[in-house]
Structure 1
Amino acid sequence: MAESMQGLHRSHRCTEVNNTMIGNTVTVMGWVQKSRNKGGIIFVDLRDRSGILQVIFEEANCGAESFAKAEKLRSEFVVAITGEVAKRGGAVNENLATGDIEVIAKDIRILAEADTPPFPIEENSKTKEDLRLKYRYLDLRRPDLQKNIMMRSKVTTLVRSFMADEGFIEIETPTLCKSTPEGARDYLVPSRIHPGEFYALPQSPQIYKQLLMCSGYDRYFQIARCYRDEDLRADRQPEFTQIDMELSFVDVDDVIDVNERLLAKLFKEVIGVDVQLPIQRMTYKEAMERFGSDKPDLRFGMELCDVTDVVKDCEFVVFKNAIEAGGSVRGINAEGQGAMPRKKIDALVDFAKGYGAKGLAYIAIHEDGTMKSSFAKFMKDEEMQALVAKMNGKPGDLLLFAADKSKLVYDVLGALRLEIANQLGLLKKDEYRFVWITEFPLLEWSEELGRYQAMHHPFTMPMEEDLQYIESDPGRVRAKAYDIVLNGTEIGGGSVRIHQDDIQEMMFKALGFTMERAYDQFGFLLNAFKYGVPPHAGLAYGLDRLVMLMAQEDSIRDVIAFPKVKDASCLMSEAPNTVDAKQLEELGISIVKPEAETEE
């Protein structure tokens, strides 16, 4: 029978009780982690969000009634206990913050009983994730998850404090917006009052924050909820949170400066890591050529090497065809892996094929200097020697090569170096390597659309020296855009925005927009720009990704209270679900079920 809390007040959380309080009376409340009846003495581990405290029940101290209640305790019962703090009678538990003390219980109230949970509430749970997500309210009691959620809270608290000190104003922007279908798919919300018309949930507050710069707010920020209807992966959810900001009268260096200081503050105060400032910068071109990725992981080497010139005259048809088609041949040196079994090399070939490669050429250099290669018979000895020299190949190394269009080669080798590094245990979660990636292409060609599209968004400012190419050679134009990358994950990105009418019109033209279409989609922003818009720039972090890396987790699901799974559903609440027919009728919506496929 659950008891009332009337007249009781919690004096301390579990780990707030310490050895300076020995002899004091405290009242603690929480969940029973474990109860052990040793006959005449009952040991209870009491848990709250701060940690665990050991409580001792002996009938001589607490009386027959309280001892009888203590005998009934099971895991996850919710209790209030009053008792005296004492030096621990048994061995000190070094794993607990309260390991040198215990509470000698005088009184107990059982505030709620509990069924046996479907899995143990414990750190580093081995229970399958689907079951834990179904009972997420229980999963969230686990100390490691609670630590992550509290870390997330500390990050947002520090962000707000830092931004206020830097003169930023926190402003909320709407979550019922106009759909602007450039980029990811929108989540749509039907309007009851305007039948047949829809709001979109924001993919970001981009247009609103630019309008706030037009409105003179100078420095804006927001912890913003955003939504994208796209396929999920470990670091992606249909709804997510951004640390969003926009600044007026600034250029690239100003935005980078304030954000480097923000990152340094967060990492020092949340996890005790010193971020060395200034953070390294690298152009998009350099990142792709060295690491095959615009989000390079700098915790290890294994950089790409362009060997096109070395093999351009060889007779190996794979290399020859790639070069003749305007592509390139590049390789990576997996140092010390020359003795890798053929079966593992074949697995790497299959991995590369998964990224679009037709295959993977290799040279294994044995410790005695002899070589085994998949293509040596097509090469002259001096060509092989020159190739190995270009790759800095040494006895014991494994050289891997991809040949195709350069973009595909980058994708393949960029993914391959990460796969090998993962296999070799080179990716240390407690090492934090930041890098700014700058000078992105302004536009990228879309085969699907048959036109250029914005790599970031249509309001990104081109680099001034490249404006001359925007009509004649759009693919050559670089953007005043910048991403902040940590350990191979993009945690934030932004750009200087276009604030001049003539440049914005050139941008829309390069994207294949008529001005009529541009005004149809973005008219309220373009009209606002007619009334005096300051130069402005901004950046947004993925809060979930940032905290995931700080907490050394592999998935953002471990730092979000109630995440979705891969099909964008919630296993706990069973959302999305059907709705009442009357609700659909009010919205003027009918559900058309797809016709069942006919069996042949």
Structure 2
Amino acid sequence: MVTADGHSAPAAVQVRQTAMRSHRCGDPRLADAGETVTVCGWVAHRRQHGQSLQFIDLRDYSGVIQCVVDGTVDVRSEYVLKITGLVTERPEGTVNEALATGQVELRDCKVEVLSVAKPPPFPLDDRADNVDESTRLTFRYLDLRRERMQRNLRIRSTVLAAIRTALSPLGFVEVETPLLMPSTPEGAREFIVPSRQFPGSFYALPQSPQLFKQLLMVGGADRYFQFARCLRDEDLRADRQYEFTQLDLEMSFVDQQDVLDVITSAVLAATEAITGGPVPPVETMTWQHAMDRYGVDKPDLRFGMELVELTEVFAGSGFKAFAGVGAVKGIRVPGGSASHNRKALDTLTDTAKKLGAKGLVWMRVGAAGALESPVAKFLSEAELAGIVEKTEAREGDLLLLVADEWTTACEVLGQLRNSLGRPPAGEGGFRFVWVVDFPQFVGIDKETGRPKPGHHPFTRPHPDDLDKLETEPLQVRSRAYDLVLNGWELGSGSIRIHEPELQQRIFDLIGISREEADRRFGFFLTPFGYGAPPHGGFAFGIDRLVASLAGEENIREVIAFPKTQSGLDPLTGAPTRVDERQLKELGVRVVAAVPPA
């Protein structure tokens, strides 16, 4: 098994021994007592005991070792030292259980200063978690020395190694696709690169290797993967950066379940490499089920509070707010009555309205299932009893109900469910779920009157729904699927369209003529006329997977050199102005310059 420090046990012995050191700082154990070792690292702490004794805690990525130095050595925090000493059992009462090396220390130490250091701008321990993020990123090379950051980097490395190990025996070939490609602006906003040799023409940086990996299938590669660097000029947030890494994969002569099985084996191998034990099986549910029960297409299965269908309870109701609507749904917040006073309930109601609901009905559950609510007087005894029965309400619970169109009722309660019950990252284990059978189209474009694709236009419709394409497009399911972990969408994929005739049917539906398709996608579509295999694939975000496994809420904590949420890089100062000579050479003129904030 690969451990969280990125090495198997034999490999750790090999990497720690170099010309300068015999052990890493975190290696010595009680079994090494009596052995003389040499360690190298940074001074984490230094304590002077009178004139004759000094304690130095030396740190590298593997851990910390206490070194007892006779006399005084002029060293300070973050100095880089080489220390040779005798591994000795610590005296009784001085064992440090918080350290893996806490039963031993180095004595009779010889100290060599390899590098001096200025005082760091913030403490390089857990206290740095409270330091302003821009300061941490400005001095990222110091921030990376911390145990938390070293752990995250090695978790990331372990995940990548485990995925490669899982895919290699399955016949996959690792191929690198271009970073400079033509613009395909129908997706997310792109980063554009001007061409020096062809002034006025531009490359785009890849949002994903989608087109190239499908061409690899046409080329007979059969099974492809890469850890692809992708770039999207979108607003940043906790789970999004301009540049990110995804596992990109494509397979020929497969159906949907084949792809799901391969990705499942890869992510479970990566997760077990970190946890060291088995992970709950990956569940599968349809998009319809996810929306009906969780109110989102990326459900967090670590907690309950599932949406309950109450529409039938109010069939023929005399309460106008519940009569004649598309759906009535509710959630039960266990023990929520005591923790939600009237002000908190008003805040929930305002939140529901901001999310698009006409309103929110709340009910406190009292003894014997009695419901306290401003609307209780408008409901019949049968309706009140039906609410209690359907929600399985208990005394002290809080019920939240939304009556609206089905989509709105689901989405509003789904957001409330997450905000009220979702555990923090790192708690509740790891719950993977496949969401399948997404809609092929997600509505009608008001300007064109044509259906809008729910995925990219090369996604294959469900074979059972092909006869509805032109007549009931919004009822057509797709062969698209998402992998979700603890409420985070890790990635998505689909079975692709490989027949030119079916592809043109989709283009016709969304308003792309043959001429426009040839102009925009000709380099991609032409090869399909030379014999394309049935194929499908998937891509998921490595940053999101690693953040979840590391118990981090923000992917910036598992990326070595990320941008801030505003898109700036405090370490390098990017983005920066470019010299006028360079712009002239590229045939580019800046017409409006706004300095970064």
Q: Say whether the fold is shared (TM-score over 0.5).
A: yes
Amino acid at match of 1:45: D
Q: Deviations over 1:11-59 (max 9, x none)?
A: 2211122233222222211100001010111000000011101111114
| Code of the aligned partner of 1:73 | V
Aligned partners of 1:594, 1:83: CA distance in 2, in Å?
A: 59
Are 1:540 and 2:578 matched, yes or no? no
Partner of 1:122: 125
1:501 aligns with 2:505: no
Equivalence for 1:294:
297
Gaps of 5+ in 1: 1-6, 60-66, 596-600
Any idea what SS the aligned residue of 1:16 has? coil
- Relative to structure 1, the CA distance from residue 368 to residue 477 in structure 2 (aligned partners, 3 Å threshold; closer, same or farther) is closer
1:77 corresponding residue in structure 2 = 79
Shift in alpha-carbon separation, 1:430–1:111, aligned structure 2, 3 A: farther
- Give the corresponding residue for 2:463: 464
Output the CA distance in 1 between the equivalents of 2:284 and 2:84.
57
Cα gap change, 1:541/1:78 in structure 2, threshold over 3 Å: closer, same or farther?
same
Q: Deviations over 1:480-502 (max 9, x none)?
A: 11111111111122111111111
1:222 and 2:226 are equivalent in the alignment? yes
Amino acid across the alignment from 1:129:
E
1:50-61 paired onto structure 2 within 5 Å: 50-59=62-71
Which residue identity is paired with 2:24?
Answer: R
Inter-CA distance 248–307: structure 2 relative to 1 (3 Å threshold): same
Which residue does 1:282 correspond to in 2?
285
List per-residue Cα deviations over 1:534-574 (Å, max 9, x = no partner).
11111111100000111111111111111111111112212
Given that 1:299 and 1:426 are in contact with CA atoms closer than 8 Å, whether structure 2 keeps it comes out as no
Call closer, same or farther: CA 1:46–1:203 in 2, change over 3 Å.
Answer: same
Q: Distance in 2 between matches of 1:412 and 1:543?
A: 29
| C-alpha separation in 2, matches of 1:78 and 1:303 | 54
Residues 236-281 of structure 1, C-alpha deviations (whole Å, 9 max, x = no match): 111110011111111111111122222222122222241244x221
Q: Take 1:56 and 1:566, find their aligned partners in 2: how far apart are those partners?
A: 44
Structure 1 contact 421–427 (Cα < 8 Å) conserved: no
What runs of 5+ residues in structure 2 fail to find an aligned partner?
1-17
* 3-state SS in 2 of match to 1:574: coil
Using the alignment, how far apart are the partners of 1:89 and 1:312 within structure 2?
77
Aligned residue for 2:35? 24
Report the more deviating stretch, 185-194 or 353-362.
353-362
Residue 46 in structure 1 maps to residue 46 in structure 2? no
Q: Which residue of the partner structure matches residue 209 of structure 1?
A: 213
SS at match of 2:226: strand
Distance (Å, rounded) in 2 between the aligned partners of 1:378 and 1:31: 71
The answer on whether the counterparts of 1:31 and 1:76 sit within 8 Å (CA) in structure 2 is: yes
Q: Quote how far apart the aligned CAs of 1:356 are.
A: 2.1
Q: Take 1:588 and 1:446, find their aligned partners in 2: how far apart are those partners?
A: 41
1:92 and 1:108 map into 2 onto residues whose CA distance is: 23
C-alpha distance after superposition, 1:352-396 (max 9, x if no partner): 233222321111122354332132233333333333333333332
1:393-432 superposed Cα distances (whole Å, 9 cap, x missing partner): 333222111122222222110010111114xx58862411
Partner amino acid for 1:561?
A
* Structure-2 residue corresponding to 1:250: 254
CA distance in 2, matches of 1:41, 1:291: 62
Q: Is the 8 A contact 1:314 1:378 kept in 2?
A: no
Q: Matched residues, percent identical? A: 46
The CA distance in 2 between the partners of 1:354 and 1:193, in whole Å, is 51
Q: State the distance in 1 between where 2:147 and 2:388 align.
A: 51
Instruction: Give deviations 1:82-117, integer Å, cap 9, x for gaps.
Output: 222222235111111111111124422212111111
Residues 426 and 550 of structure 2 are in contact (CA less than 8 Å); yes or no, is this contact kept in structure 1?
A: no
Cα distance change of structure 1 residues 421 and 221 upon mapping to structure 2, 3 Å threshold: same
Does residue 590 (structure 1) correspond to residue 593 (structure 2)? The answer is no
Of 181-190 and 12-21, deviating more is 12-21
- Give the aligned CA root-mean-square deviation in angstroms: 2.0
Alignment of 1:108-257 (within 5 A): 108-123=111-126, 125-257=129-261
Change (3 A) 1:476 1:513: same
Quote the residue 1:4 is aligned against: none
In 2, Cα distance between the equivalents of 1:193 and 1:453? 38
- The amino acid across from 2:441 in the alignment is L
Q: Structure 1: how far apart are the matches of 2:412 and 2:355? A: 6
Question: Paired residue for 2:552?
Answer: 553
**Counterpart in the other structure of 1:574:** 573
* Conserved? CA contact 2:68–2:108, under 8 Å: yes
* Structure 1 residues 379 and 427, CA gap change in structure 2 (3 angstroms): farther
CA distance in 2, matches of 1:20, 1:179: 61
Q: What is residue 103 of structure 1 aligned with on the other side? A: 106
In the aligned structure 1, how far is the partner of 2:468 from the partner of 2:100?
Answer: 63
CA contact (8 A) 2:55 2:67 kept: yes
- The answer to whether the 8 A contact 1:81-1:105 is kept is no
**Which residue of 296, 308, 316 corresponds with 1:313?**
316
Match status 1:336 vs 2:335 = yes
Q: Which residue of 2 aligns with 1:63?
A: none
SS at structure 2 position matched to 1:15: coil
Which whole-Å CA distance do the structure 2 matches of 1:476 and 1:335 have between them? 36
Query: Greater shift after overlay, 81-90 or 206-215?
Result: 81-90
- Classify the secondary structure of the residue corresponding to 1:102: strand
* Other structure's SS at 1:109 match: strand
For the 8 Å contact 2:460–2:497, the answer to whether it is kept is yes
CA distance in 1: counterparts of 2:201 and 2:583, whole angstroms: 14
Residues of 2 paired with 1:594 and 1:76: CA distance? 41
